[in-house]
Amino acid sequence: MITENSDVVALTAQADIHRLYVKVVKPALADFALTVDTVRETTDIDEFLELARINTHNSLCHELRRTFALVLQALFERQLRFWLSGKMPDKKESIEKASWPHLIRLVNCVDGSITANPVMTDLEDLHLVANAVRHGNGPSANKLLQKKPAFWIKPHVKRDLIGNMRVDDAQLQLYATAVMTFWYLAGASPFPK
């Protein structure tokens, strides 16, 4: 139910994330279900080709999940800039160029209760995942490796941190829920379950 005093921008942003997750992400995750990675030596060409098919399929499945994290964060950040520009029209130009930490400081200026909410930890993690996917090995990947070592298969290969990063379906759902929760805190109505 939409409450009478809902923030229209927050409500629209929340609905867009919900639709993206329900209509695009969830069905794609089901279509690209992971199987068990199989690594073993073989001299049988048919077995070798089947193992290669399985591992290639799984690589694509992991790439899809990383890409969805990137898409969720990019859409959220664009929505956030639009929302902040409406709240602070005199700062629109600086909002368009602001770094992620600066955007969060601006959210705090609008409503400090939002940035004090624990959901911000999940949104920060989503930002790190998206940055790592976007830029490869670098500061975000290294920070994420320290913060969320479970994202990596063991042993991880330092030269290709992102190729070895594993974002699972539950993590994607957590990130989508975090974004929808942010918009609820920003004035949207409660989001659908």
- Indicate whether 146 belongs to any domain: yes
The answer, as to whether pTM is greater than 0.85, is: yes
- Indicate whether 190 belongs to any domain: no
Number of domains in the chain: 1
pLDDT number for residue 190: 77
Digits of tens for pLDDT over the chain (193 positions)? 566 678 999 999 999 999 999 999 999 999 999 887 777 788 889 888 988 888 889 989 999 999 999 999 999 999 999 999 999 999 999 999 999 999 999 999 999 999 999 999 999 999 999 999 999 888 998 898 899 988 887 655 667 788 888 999 999 999 999 999 999 999 987 766 5
- Indicate whether 3 belongs to any domain: no
- Indicate whether 129 belongs to any domain: yes
Burial of 3 (0-12, 13-18, 19+ CB in 10 A): exposed
Contact present, 27 and 21 (Cβ < 8 Å): no
pLDDT number for residue 192: 60
Element (H, E) at 150: none
Contacts of residues 113-120 at CB distance under 8 Å and 24 or more positions apart, as own/partner, are 113/185, 114/182, 114/185, 114/186, 117/181, 117/185, 119/178, 119/181, 119/182, 119/185, 120/182
- Indicate whether 191 belongs to any domain: no
pLDDT number for residue 35: 86
- Indicate whether 149 belongs to any domain: yes
- Indicate whether 157 belongs to any domain: yes
What type of residue sits at position 52? Answer: A
For residue 97, the enclosing domain spans: 8-185
- Indicate whether 65 belongs to any domain: yes
